[in-house]
């Protein structure tokens, strides 16, 4: 009876149903929150289709847009103090400058601003400064992407460390 063709077909169908059920669960490689969900329950999807974005809440950072004229003393490694509009000044965050964008926000915009009249007007550009936040503080008071922050960089902190970490280069002779 175990070798009967209908029994074998039923076992194969049961095994395929188990595999299909296991494939209904999607596991993220990182802890995070779902953003930009593009799929609804019961919807069929194709391989490679974008279903959602997962924002890793453990690696939240701030891109603070400073005027180019404010950056001449800012260095990687300097300490930063931040306040979120979400929590107010009662919940301060600390962090460190970890880098700068390769260009201004205007350079990377989809439609760069141009002066149509031919008159040249100097516009002060803003450059994103990436700030890594303290993980313990984020655990107590989590943030979400897109929130407004008030940022103050301590220009006297870690300047010696940042210079020591980046040795001076000599020109080739």
Whether the pTM exceeds 0.85: the reply is no
pLDDT of residue 98: 93
List the beta strands (DSSP E) in 85-125: 88-100
Output 157 or 120, whichever has higher pLDDT.
157
pLDDT of residue 112: 61
Instruction: Quick: pLDDT tens for 17-56.
Output: 999 888 878 788 888 888 888 988 888 888 888 888 888 8
Residue ranges of domains in the chain, CATH in brackets: 26-57 (no CATH), 60-165 (2.40.30.170)
- Look at residues 130, 154, 158 and name the one whose alpha carbon lies nearest to residue 60: 130
Instruction: Quick: pLDDT tens for 60-87.
Output: 889 999 998 888 899 999 999 999 999 9
Identify whether the C-beta of residue 118 lies closer than 8 Å to the C-beta of residue 124. Answer: no
pLDDT above 70 for 167: no
pLDDT of residue 133: 93
């Amino acid at each position: 009876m175990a070798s009967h063709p209908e029994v074998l077909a039923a076992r194969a169908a049961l095994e395929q149903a188990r595999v299909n059920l296991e494939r209904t669960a999607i596991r993220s490689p990182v802890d995070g929150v779902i953003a930009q969900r593009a799929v609804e329950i019961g919807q069929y999807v194709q391989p490679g289709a974008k279903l959602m974005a997962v924002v890793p809440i453990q690696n939240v950072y701030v891109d603070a847009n400073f005027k180019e004229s404010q950056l001449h003393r800012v260095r990687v490694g300097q300490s930063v103090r931040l306040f979120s509009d979400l929590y107010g000044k009662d919940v301060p965050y600390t962090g460190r400058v970890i880098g700068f964008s390769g260009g201004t926000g205007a350079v990377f915009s989809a439609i760069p601003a141009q002066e149509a009249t031919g008159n040249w007007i100097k516009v002060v550009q803003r450059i994103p400064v990436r700030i890594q936040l303290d993980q313990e503080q984020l655990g107590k008071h989590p943030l979400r992407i897109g929130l407004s922050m008030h940022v103050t960089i301590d220009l006297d902190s870690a300047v010696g460390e940042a210079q020591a970490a980046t040795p001076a280069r000599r020109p080739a002779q």
